[in-house]
Structure 1
Amino acid sequence: MTEPVTTNATVATAGVAVLSLFPGVDAAVVMGAFAGAGVFVLASDDLAPFKRLAFFLISFVAGCLSARLAADLIGWALPQRIQVNAAVGALVASAVIIKLLMWLIRRAANPEKLFDAFKGGPKP
């Protein structure tokens, strides 16, 4: 009998492989988003299993959709305009996007603090 972790990993890998066969879908971006979502879920041990699954799916989709933008931002931050692959952008975007959205949601509860952070601190 196989272990549940091995079975889940096999099913997930097969699902990513099938998804990358569709026309117009970059296989490297799909794999990068999958890896980034996995990193996020493995790093967040304080979440319930259902929330982990939901955040994994949201992170995976967001990583696929924002791969090119994240790659361009990473390339802009690196010296001499180094070309960054979209797969790297997908990995970074899917690993960071949920934390960024959760931070923005917490800040949205008090919009004055959000604007203070952009202005350089609270006014006396």
Structure 2
Amino acid sequence: MKSPINLEVVHKVIDVFRAQYKNRDLAAKTEKILFNLAATGHRVSEQNFRAIVGHIRNHDMMSPWFIVSNVNTGYWITKDEKELSAYLDQELNRMSNQFDNVSNLHKRLRHGKTKGTGNQASLF
């Protein structure tokens, strides 16, 4: 069961991003962001941080800004359309790769089963 999102911490994460990570040159890895959050009195686990970032993204809470990330650079916010487009392409490519990685397994396990008998069956 997912633990509920603490909106006070969500808003603190937004504040930290707005204050410290406003462009790619200021991007930071998770550990640094968590250290900066702890300095404000908000200790957050890596798992909870990822859930909070997901919540912020899913609810478009920083519009017109958006939290973008990549494994090499870390996290930052941007409203630059070129950066946002590159991030969207990156994420769509990851989703496509994940789909490809499980497609044959899905066919093997769901072979002969009617559509809708397993989770995510309609995606395949």
- TM-score, normalisation: structure 2: 0.30
Greater helix share, 1 or 2?
A: 1
Higher RCO (Cα < 8 Å, 6 or more apart): 1
- TM-score, normalisation: structure 1: 0.30
